[in-house]
Structure 1
Amino acid sequence: MSGDVFDPEQLSRCISCGFCLPACPTYAMTGDEASSPRGRITLMRALQDGTLPPDDPTLAEQSSFCLGCRACEPVCPAGVQYGSLLEQWRVHQWRGRRRPPLARALTLVAGQRWLLRLLGLVRGAARGPAAAPPTGQLMLGCFERGLYPGVSRAARSLDPTLAVPAAQGCCGALHAHNGDLAGGERLARGLGEELPGTIVTTSGGCAAHLASVLGPQRVRELSTWLAGRPPGVELRVAGRRARVTLQDSCHLRNGLGVFAEPRALLRQVADYVELPSAATCCGAAGTYSLLRPKDSRRILDGKLDEIEAAGVDLVVAVNPGCLRQLRTGLRRRRSAVRAVHLAELLAEAATPDRP
């Protein structure tokens, strides 16, 4: 038997009601019960009680095929913490050499503090003490500081009272979602010690992970940190008020319940257009777009159709993985729609001398 894989109390909560099925992107894509949260929990129970052997191929496939978007959690009447169960499942399925080589490489890089600092310095990510007594600590995403250094600079420009220690490490979200739950929790606790007080992050996925380890009172995603502040100037495109839309961060919305705040900030500076699928996953899902690119692209394609049909100028992300996914997809289509991070858009609106 494999009875030590899952927390028994969490696993027992599912009542197999099926409310999760319509919310699940992989079930919508396949219509396969095994590819739904209910079906996957049935597989977890079979693994836990020994009905299925640990090396069963269906277990390996479904633990990987799941996006981990947690869209099933808000609609679950029994309060099943599916995201936590998935992390426990991947610890078991991806132990040792079974972890996908790319996931192993990414977590290895993210765990190298010196390399992360070098990336931030070379790419020009924000750093340094606050302009006044610090009100919070700005977290630099492990890969965001290298791929999108302008995001942290924009966030710092919106609130110069944020301190940005350059030597900070990874929050551990990447590890927790890729089969190293203990490592992810250790890194989150370490970052909490490095960044005293309130931690402000520009990544929805990092916010949810840090909140689960350090407690929600220690962590603020940028839109909640800026909520209620005076609006910037109106963003204009071709002589008219800009039309913008938002792609939710799955973990931010489903894990922390944050979705109204970024929309309120966008409505202050532009005409906001809601996408029908704004609350559903874009297919980025952390490392998912790299580990399962074909499935990720299938999920993204319908969303890109909606974005282009909406007639918007900009699609806004609140998570670096989503930003990469949207930019890659729109560039592939040669779309005129531009994908930006919320911090960058708000910083542009806050510039007093923009035309």
Structure 2
Amino acid sequence: MIFAKPLLDRCISCGYCLPACPTYAMTGEEASSPRGRISLMRALETGQLPEDDGTLAEQASFCLGCRACEPVCPAGVEYGNLLEQWRDHQWRGRRGPLRARLLMAAVARPWLLRVPGLVRRHARTAARASGPSLMLGCAERALFPRVSRAARKLAPELAAPPRQGCCGALHAHNGDSAAGARMAKELGEVLPGTIVTTSGGCATHLAAHLGRPRVRELSEFVVETDVLPAVPLLVDGRPARVALQDSCHLRNGLGVWRQPRELIRAVAEYVELPSAATCCGAAGTYSILRPRDSAKILAVKIAEIEAAGVDFVVAVNPGCLRQLRSGLRKRGSSVRAVHLAELLEIASK
């Protein structure tokens, strides 16, 4: 058995998911929709399609895994779980994309995560036996060390011990959900109490394995603890105009989307992008594994940001931040892409 039967049987093929799916919007092809992919999963499960079928291979890879289909599904299909089971089978062993396997091998070594992070000077404190802890993201430690430092300036009570490993989300989304679950539980043992993360994807993965009460994304934590200094952020003497790019997993998996907007409105003029709730094309490893498709999705997003006349666009996930910065830089845009923690830090100065 490849799929959990109750999960696979829940889809009633109603089609409500089609308008929500970015890849279906790109192609208009049924196979590129959640409903179509579930039909492919059923064909694989029953043996109607062989494992090496080209459409199976293409669609397992083409899916962003954004889970935008889940909130609109009247039957409550857990598509994210089905996708993980599909890739566990489709990408098992050495059948997975080489780049994904190399990344998973790298983040599975905590010492390898610590070295570039220490050089780049991410936030770090001594470990504590209790109290809330800040999860240090894998890529974020090296690429965006300012994010963890900004998070601790907002909430100094957060401990940030450097000897923490990956949460396992990368593994879960790329064909090794068993390792992903194990890594989440190991991180839960290293970080006692509430775990606060600056990555929407990591928050959703950790919540699935450690329980929702133990996990808070940064915007949730700030709103709940009321640690935000109400200082307006000005640009040329006027309130800054700020847009937001939602984290797909944070919004669609945990239902967190109001809190980042609330915090932005507390310090700036908030501008809602037409596609703020839809994927930017980063999607974990997607921008690395399928750069052309990722770029097509991003191009629409960057055009919207430019048309909105904003000063900043905020991300709540490091992959999204990397994606937005890359797209804005290539466009030669004056808009700054920042993490929510960075924006709030700038406003507090």
TM-score by length of 2: 0.98
Is the Cα–Cα contact under 8 Å of residues 288 and 296 in structure 1 kept in the other structure?
Answer: yes
Q: State yes or no: 1:13 paired with 2:10.
A: yes
**2:331 alignment partner in structure 1:** 333
- Counterpart residue type for residue 52 of structure 1: L
Is the Cα–Cα contact under 8 Å of residues 127 and 163 in structure 1 kept in the other structure?
Answer: yes
Provide the rounded CA distance (Å) in 2 between the counterparts of 1:231 and 1:36.
44
- Counterpart residue type for residue 317 of structure 1: A
- Point out 4+ residue stretches in structure 1 off by more than 6 angstroms: none
Task: Give the secondary-structure state (helix, strand or coil) at the position aligned to 2:274.
Answer: coil
Is the Cα–Cα contact under 8 Å of residues 201 and 222 in structure 1 kept in the other structure?
Answer: yes
**2:318 alignment partner in structure 1:** 320
Provide the rounded CA distance (Å) in 1 between the counterparts of 2:130 and 2:313.
31
- Counterpart residue type for residue 291 of structure 1: L
Task: Give the secondary-structure state (helix, strand or coil) at the position aligned to 1:164.
Answer: coil
**1:206 alignment partner in structure 2:** 202
**2:301 alignment partner in structure 1:** 303
Q: Alpha-carbon deviations, 1:317-344, whole Å to 9, x = none? A: 0000000000000000000111000000
**Equivalent runs, 1:157-168 vs 2, <5 Å:** 157-168=153-164
**1:125 alignment partner in structure 2:** 122
Q: Alpha-carbon deviations, 1:125-180, whole Å to 9, x = none? A: 000048x9963000000111011000000001101100111110000000100001
Gaps of 5+ in 2: none
Q: Alpha-carbon deviations, 1:190-242, whole Å to 9, x = none? A: 00000010000000000000001111111000000000444331111112110
Q: State yes or no: 1:24 paired with 2:5.
A: no
- Counterpart residue type for residue 265 of structure 1: L
Identity over the aligned pairs, expressed in percent? 71
Task: Give the secondary-structure state (helix, strand or coil) at the position aligned to 2:117.
Answer: helix
**Equivalent runs, 1:1-355 vs 2, <5 Å:** 4-129=1-126, 135-227=131-223, 228-351=226-349
- Counterpart residue type for residue 206 of structure 2: L
- Counterpart residue type for residue 251 of structure 1: H
* Root-mean-square deviation over aligned CA pairs: 1.1
User: How many aligned residue pairs are there?
Assistant: 347
Provide the rounded CA distance (Å) in 2 between the counterparts of 1:226 and 1:134.
19
Task: Give the secondary-structure state (helix, strand or coil) at the position aligned to 1:67.
Answer: coil
Provide the rounded CA distance (Å) in 1 between the counterparts of 2:184 and 2:96.
21
Higher helix share: 2
TM-score by length of 1: 0.96
Gaps of 5+ in 1: none
